[in-house]
Each structure stands twice: as C-alpha cells, then as structure tokens.
Amino acid sequence: MPGSGKSFWGNLLAQALGYTFVDTDSNIELLEKQAISQIFEQHGEAHFRTLEAAYLRKLPQGINLLVATGGGTPCFHDNMALMLSKGLVIWLDVPIHTLVNRLIFEKTKRPILAQKTDAELIATMEQMLAIRAPFYQQAHVTVNATQISIPYLKQIIEQHA
C-alpha cells in the first residue's frame, strides 16, 4: 500500500544484505523522464500500469535484487504471479490509520490520492486495501510493518533462501 515503507525499508535492507535496490516507481520516472503524476495525468492509469508491467519484466536476472514495487503493481497484468515465480515476495502490512497518518502530508505527490480530502483519504485507503488484499495475501510472507526492523527482515530472507 502507499505509505507502507516499501522504498524506505527496501533500500535499508538491500544495503544490509549487499543487494542491488530497485524502486520500480523511481525506475519508471527515470526511464520515462516524467514523474509518475505526469504519466497519470497525461496518459492515464492504464498506460502507467502497462509501463509498470513492462519494466517489471525487464528487471535483470542472476543478481541479488531487492525490488520495491508500487502498491498497485501486484494487482495488474499477472504481475503477482511473475513476482512469486522470481523471488521472495513480502507484504508490508500496515493498519489504515497508520498509512493515512503517513500520507496525509504528502498526498499531492501520489496521483491516486492527490485530490482527496482527509476524510476521502481514509475511505480511499480502505477501498484500495479491500481491492488489493487478495493480491497482497498471496505474498510468501506478511510482515507487520509497524514492528519492523532490519534484523527481522534479514532473518526472513535467510529463512527463505
């Protein structure tokens, strides 16, 4: 989900493990030379989801990668099946109220949330989770991201290696 800490924890964990970190949203922005918000505005969500799937499939093989995807990535174009077949998938599960508290001051940076009032943000996040949960629940591991630490994440990786 947006605001769950995928990029933050992914980067820290990749450093701790000596892996290469890839943030798919940042990668798309770099390669498309546009912010995600501009891609959404100019081409729509469907176009963005197609780009997202294409870039996910272009990730290099044979090296230790830690990939932070956008929160919607698993829900489109059979991306979750691909992710599950390529490596360990971890869902950072965060309560809605925590997500809202994290996102309330940065909603303008997120196209799906940009125009929402604070009350609409809560309802949107609840609806989003209801739609996305069946995909997220397919992850190999679910982590309560309010009690997360690098040693704990490293232990999960080692147990599944």
- How much is the pLDDT for 118? 87
For residue 44, pLDDT beyond 90: yes
CATH number at residue 38: 3.40.50.300
Q: Is the pTM of this model over 0.95?
A: no
**Which strand (E) or helix (H) includes residue 158?**
helix 150-159
68 φ, ψ (degrees, to nearest 5): -100, 115
Gap between the Cα atoms of 12 and 7, Å rounded: 9
| Per-residue model confidence as pLDDT tens digits over 59-115 | 998 899 999 999 999 999 999 999 999 999 999 999 999 999 999 988 888 888 888
Q: Which of 30, 15, 40 is nearest to 7 (CA)?
A: 15
What residue type is 30 in one-letter code?
Answer: L
104-113, 114-123, 131-140, 148-157, range with the lowest pLDDT = 104-113
Is 112 part of any domain? yes
Is 27 part of any domain? yes
Average pLDDT in the 44-55 region? Answer: 97
- How much is the pLDDT for 53? 98
- Residue 124 near residue 112, CB atoms below 8 Å: yes
Average pLDDT in the 137-159 region? Answer: 95
Is 161 part of any domain? no
Is 63 part of any domain? yes
Which structural domain range is residue 22 located in?
6-156
Is 139 part of any domain? yes
Q: Which of 47, 45, 49 is nearest to 135 (CA)?
A: 49
Q: Model confidence at 4, in pLDDT bands (50, 70, 90)?
A: very high
Is 1 part of any domain? no
- How much is the pLDDT for 106? 85
Gap between the Cα atoms of 86 and 109, Å rounded: 30
* Average pLDDT for the chain: 95
**Which strand (E) or helix (H) includes residue 20?**
strand 20-23
Average pLDDT in the 2-16 region? Answer: 96
- Residue 17 near residue 44, CB atoms below 8 Å: no
Domains contained in the chain, number: 1
